[in-house]
Amino acid sequence: MKFNHLLPRWEQRHRCPQGGEHYYLPTSHVEATLDHVAVRFRCKKCGRLSTAFLDEPTYQVNKNIINKYAGDKNDDFGA
């Protein structure tokens, strides 16, 4: 499962050097601020990092799935 839909629109339009769209998976880097929750994502194909700034309700909806994937061995780029 990729998480591209959580990223900013311009980031979704950016093409992966490996071909096609990036395949973003969450890392365990999650940072809460007053206004939003910043979640760091990494493309599993090219390693590109991108940060999604989610508002609190959106983060709550996606929290479980983010945590599930963030703990995975998908994260083999050495965060």
Contact footprint for Zn ion (CB under 5 A) = 16, 22, 43, 45-46, 48
Closest CA to 32 of 61, 55, 64, 50: 55
- Closest approach, Cβ 36 to Zn ion, in A, equals 24
Least distance from C-beta 10 to Zn ion, angstroms? Answer: 14
Nearer to Zn ion, 57 or 78 (CB): 78
Whole-number minimum distance, CB 54 to Zn ion, in Å? Answer: 20
Give 5 or 60: the residue with its C-beta nearer to Zn ion.
5
Region for residue 23 given its phi and psi (left: phi exceeds 0; alpha: psi -120 to 50; beta: otherwise): beta
- Distance between CA atoms of 33 and 48, rounded to whole angstroms? 23
Which structure tokens are listed for 36? 């939003």
Nearer to Zn ion, 29 or 45 (CB): 45
